Structure formats: structure tokens, C-alpha cells
Amino acid sequence: MQAARGTSLSDAEDRGDRGDAQAPRAAGRVRLRWLLAAIAITAYAVDVVTKVLAVEHLSGRAEDVPLVGDLLVLHLTRNPGAAFSTGTEYTVVLSCVSIAAVVVVLWLVRRVGSTVWAVALGSLLAGVAGNLTDRLLRDPGPLRGHVIDFLMLPNWPVFNIADICINIAAGLILVQAFRGIRLDGTRTSEDQ
């Protein structure tokens, strides 16, 4: 049956130059970006709220607050450095590296073509932005602020939700690398 003048006979004509595979792929990328944004915003909000609550309820306490016996304890610290309190004299450099990391992740978002990559980059963005917020807004001043850490495990440095997000992201990125899945969702073996 012939369509009226100006109307298409198939969905392929509606897509124009994008072709059959391009439209679903583009819609999938939009969904992945929304997933990434939802994870980043939610995890960032949880990090900020828990840090505010930690400062409000743990400041000035002489003793730790056990959450799960001695396994997980609330212990407030202000960390001027990086992981394990290393590089405490390089707080401004760490802040600049964090700003660059946020920019790079935001630039990479446009290429996300895999759910695992979307979760990884959303978690990474939340974690880096969470700790960067402390470095920008907390004492002793912009780019020199100390990160609020408040979760403590036995024989492990004190950490926060942002640190958990960064570690989840690192783990997922390693999984994708070992699986050979690129950021756009293609496999590295497709080149060969």
C-alpha cells in the first residue's frame, strides 16, 4: 500500500541518514547517560548529607560511635591529603587534579555505550565531586579544604561515601578492561 505524499512507508525513512542501527543505539546512549546522571547525583547527595551529619553529630566527641560492633565505627577526621592521608602538603594540587578528573569524566559521558561503564563513571563522578566539594568549601579555604572522613574499619584508614564510590568505580573499570569492553560498549576483539 502506498503512503500519502510526504509520509514515510517505514521507520527507516523516519530516521533519515542515521540508518537502522543508529536510532536504537542513540536512544540507548541517552538512557545510559540518564543512568549515569542518576547514580552520580544520588551518590553525591548521599556523600554530602552523610558528611554534614558526621560533622554535626561527631564533632567534639571524645569516643568513637560503634555501628557494627568494632567492625564499623564512626570516627570523624579531617583529611588534607589523598588516600591514606598521603600528600597532605599537596592539597591544592589534589584539588586541581580532582577538577581535571571531573572535567574528563563529563567529557567521556558522551561516549558511554555500556551499562557497567555508566555505573562506573557515575560512581567516579560522584566520588571525585564529593571530595572536591570538601576541598573547595571546607576550612582552611578554597582548594585547601580538608575532606571529611568518618567511617572506620579495623586496620584501615578512615574513609567516606565518596571514597567508596571511587573504589567501586575503579573495580568496575578494571572489570571492563579485563572483559575487553570499551567505553562505547564495543569489544576490543572486534578490531581483529
Q: Give residue-wise pLDDT tens across range 119-172.
A: 999 999 999 999 999 999 999 999 999 999 999 999 999 999 999 999 999 999
- Report the 10 Å Cβ neighbour count for 149: 22
Starting at the edge strand found earlier in the chain, the sheet holding 147-152 runs: 65-68, 72-79, 147-152
Q: 34-49 burial string, b = 16+ CB within 10 Å, else e?
A: ebbeebbeebbebbbe
Mean pLDDT of the chain: 88
Q: What is the reported pTM? A: 0.84
The answer to whether the peptide bond before residue 157 is cis (omega within 30 degrees of 0) is no
Task: Determine the Cα–Cα distance for residues 112 and 122; give it in Å rounded to an integer.
Answer: 11
pLDDT score of 1: 45
Catalytic residues: 149, 163
Contact 128, 170 (CB under 8 A): no
Rounded distance, CA 58 to CA 134, Å?
17
**pLDDT tens digit sequence for 70-98:** 999 999 999 998 876 777 888 999 999 99
Per-residue pLDDT of 28-61, as tens digits, reads 899 999 999 999 999 999 999 999 999 999 999 9
Per DSSP, which regions of the chain are E strands?
Answer: 65-68, 72-79, 147-152
